């Protein structure tokens, strides 16, 4: 009886692979379940876990996260005892299980699994390697979902430190990371650290693109928003005026970017109780809005 069962199981698996390749997902799922109903495959652990791994991939693509979790657990139950927890394949499965849990918002269960996977890769490549960046970002995002701003900041800061050490302090990739860390600093009350990071973003973008470019203006806007958060009005106004000067030069004095910045400056004067200053700026806003509308009609 052993040979016919092995043959039938193999037949189901081959047909399931073809169905998956052709996009016939419902049929593939039925065939994989039929393969499993014939009992556990003989041979190595990889062969035994294959139907579960194929189901895992199918459920991930379909967004069926409870089913994906179950398939990952089944595959892990087979592979972990055979290959040890230090196997890259086992770690990949552990990460996929963690992701299935994260997708179900079961963060408290997902986080230690992600951290276990990160620790494995740290042992493999060391603690300061760009290969760690995706895992660190993933855990940072998960911490934020748990409303753990301090944890999110710690992991994001590690990303920034690794990138700075390996890529250099003015590599353009650092600008996006520094901006994210600054946002997390604001959430966790590290306001002076946030200010330094936002100034760094200005420097990185200015070196990469030139001082008078829209991307630098955007960085000044981020710095102005930070100063406004702290009610440091003179610094906020100075940053907005730098952004305005850049946009007037680059986009022209009659542009949507200039209009937006003038509105921000008017609001800033309102916040300081400077009604006259706010009104003067709103006169400019009104005239510019009319000019832009006229330009569209023309």
Q: How far apart are CA 98 and CA 203, in angstroms?
A: 38
Cα–chain-centroid distance for residue 66? 23
The residue with greater pLDDT, 55 or 5, is: 55
Model pTM score: 0.83
Q: Is the pLDDT of residue 266 over 90?
A: yes
Sorted by where each starts, the structural domains of the chain and their CATH numbers stand as: 215-298 (1.25.40.10)
pLDDT of residue 48: 84
Distance CA 72, CA 27 (A): 20
Taking a C-beta distance cutoff of 8 angstroms, is the pair 114, 135 a contact?
yes
The one-character DSSP state at 190 is -
Instruction: Identify the weakest region by mean pLDDT among 212-221, 222-231, 256-265, 286-295.
Output: 286-295
Q: Span 258-283, mean pLDDT?
A: 92
Q: What is the pLDDT of residues 217-251, one digit of tens each?
A: 999 999 999 999 999 999 999 999 999 999 999 88
89/298: higher pLDDT: 89
Tokens of 47: 């062969």
CA distance 107 to 179: 25
Residues 180 and 211 sit within 8 Å (Cβ to Cβ): no
pLDDT of residue 2: 47
Residue 43 has pLDDT above 70, yes or no: no
Instruction: Look up residue 177 and give its two tokens.
Output: 């990371």
* The pLDDT value given to residue 297: 57
In the numeric block, the tokens 């918002």 are attached to 105
- What is the number of other CB atoms lying within 10 angstroms of the CB of residue 257? 19
Average pLDDT value over all residues in the chain = 91
Distance CA(137)–CA(152), nearest Å, equals 9
**How many beta carbons lie within 10 A of that of residue 290, not counting itself?**
10
């Amino acid at each position: 009886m052993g040979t016919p069962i092995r043959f039938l199981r193999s037949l189901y698996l081959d047909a399931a692979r073809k169905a998956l390749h052709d996009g016939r997902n419902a049929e593939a799922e039925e065939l994989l379940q039929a393969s499993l109903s014939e009992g556990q495959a003989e041979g190595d652990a990889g062969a035994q876990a294959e139907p579960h791994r194929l189901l895992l991939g199918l459920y991930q693509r379909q967004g069926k996260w409870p089913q994906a979790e179950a398939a990952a657990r089944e595959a892990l139950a087979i592979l972990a005892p055979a290959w040890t927890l230090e196997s890259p394949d086992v770690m990949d499965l552990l990460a996929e299980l963690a992701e299935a849990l994260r997708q179900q918002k079961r963060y408290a269960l997902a986080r230690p699994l992600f951290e276990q996977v990160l620790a494995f890769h740290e042992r493999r490549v060391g603690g300061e390697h760009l290969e760690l960046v995706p895992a660190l970002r993933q855990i940072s995002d998960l911490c934020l979902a748990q409303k753990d701003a301090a944890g999110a900041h710690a992991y994001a800061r590690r990303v920034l430190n690794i990138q700075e050490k390996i890529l250099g302090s003015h590599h353009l990739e650092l600008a996006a990371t520094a901006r994210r860390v600054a946002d997390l600093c604001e959430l966790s009350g590290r306001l002076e650290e946030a200010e330094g990071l936002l100034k760094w973003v200005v420097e990185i973008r200015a070196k990469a693109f030139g001082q008078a470019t829209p991307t630098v203006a955007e960085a000044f806007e981020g710095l102005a928003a930070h100063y406004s958060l702290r009610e440091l009005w003179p610094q906020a106004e100075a940053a907005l005026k730098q952004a305005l000067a850049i946009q007037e030069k680059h986009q022209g004095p009659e542009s949507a970017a200039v209009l937006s910045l003038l509105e921000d400056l008017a609001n800033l004067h309102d916040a300081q109780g400077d009604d006259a200053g706010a009104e003067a700026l709103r006169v400019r806003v009104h005239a510019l809005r009319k000019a832009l509308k006229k330009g569209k009609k023309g």
